[in-house]
Amino acid sequence: MSGEGIGFGKTIIFNEHFVVYGIPAIVSAIGKYTIARIESLETNGWKIIDKRKATPTYKENKIEQQKDSINRIINKMNLDLSKKGVEITLEGNLFATSGIGASAASCVAIARAFSEHFNLNLSNNEINDIAYEGEKGYHGTPSGIDNTASTFGGLIWFEKKETNLMDKIDLMNPVEIVIGSTGKVADTAKAVEGVRERKEKNPEKYQEIFNRAENIAYLAKDAFQDEDYRELGKLMNENHKLLQQVEVSTRELDFLVKLARDQGAFGAKLTGGGLGGNIIALTPGRDLQDDVANAIEKEGFQTLKTMIGVRRSYE
């Protein structure tokens, strides 16, 4: 008996970090994914074979978090592996690196694979809840935005509440982006904790930043619906400035953001937890996408060319 599941990567386009405090964020699934396969073992417990391509040291640095995450998923699903265990294999074309939802994609894929393996027929909402529990192993107090994008796909408006608010934003035409990697593995839990500490020390300054971040989200939603990519780019640039102000950007991230803008990207900003990880550049049209990606690669950094707003159903 075996099971298989898929979870998609994501990029946060607006308001990573601010989303933890209930500020709206906009996230998109991307066309790269992780696949989990589960096979029965004659022994008890579980073991993992991680075949994902990854940033150097990413998998090694995350191994303890990964174990915690899988145990949380198993507990949340009330699975009994005391007599017959499982072997979990991870693969797929989503590069395991910081900032593109690699951990969430693996949590969603594993939850779906367990659902199939044990004939549980879980709904997307149930898969999303289980993946959120798994994300706690990696992020401490995750917002829930990554696993939501990974589970449901598309372009999503997200607000963290007692019951998270999630709305699809329909784009008539998908748009090209470039994701550029610093090659540095980010510790999202550490970044989130740092913002929390600084916010507590300087509540007035942070409230001002948070208010502007909220305003940007609503303007960006309108710009997406109007397909006004020039306006979206400006808002992304401003959002990056706010992320610099809460001290989650780095020299490498700022370098890549400036490089992308200098090459003609409509806008660019860090994406994900910061303190390493990736940037996202808005590059409508294949030619501009190629120009920006080539410039980043010329400087020795890796890129991913993909699209946001692609409509998909992962039922």
Q: Which residue ranges make up each domain of the chain?
A: 2-168, 175-308
The reported pLDDT for the residue numbered 144 is 87
pLDDT along the chain (315 residues), means of 10: 91 93 94 94 96 90 96 98 96 87 96 97 96 94 88 91 87 90 85 95 97 98 96 98 97 98 98 91 98 98 88 50
Question: Cα separations (Å) of 180 from 122, 157, 166, 256, 292?
Answer: 35, 23, 27, 7, 9
Contacts of 98 (CB under 8 A, 6+ apart): 55, 58, 184, 185, 186, 188, 272, 273, 276, 277, 278
Tell me the C-alpha distance between 314 and 72, whole Å: 23
Task: Judge whether 262 counts as a catalytic residue.
Answer: no
Question: Cα separations (Å) of 114 from 32, 47, 71, 72, 85?
Answer: 21, 14, 13, 13, 12
Contacts of 217 (CB under 8 A, 6+ apart): 14, 15, 23, 24, 25, 26, 157
CATH architecture for segment(s) 2-168: 2-Layer Sandwich (3.30)
The reported pLDDT for the residue numbered 204 is 97
Question: Cα separations (Å) of 312 from 24, 32, 62, 150, 248?
Answer: 22, 12, 30, 11, 32
Q: Which of 129, 146, 228, 290 is catalytic?
A: 146
Question: Cα separations (Å) of 264 from 57, 283, 295, 307?
Answer: 32, 8, 11, 17
Return the amino acid letter for 79. Answer: L
Tell me the C-alpha distance between 83 and 206, whole Å: 52
The reported pLDDT for the residue numbered 314 is 45
CA nearest to 112, candidates 82, 153, 142: 153
The reported pLDDT for the residue numbered 311 is 62
Q: What is the CATH number of domain 175-308?
A: 3.30.70.890
The reported pLDDT for the residue numbered 183 is 87
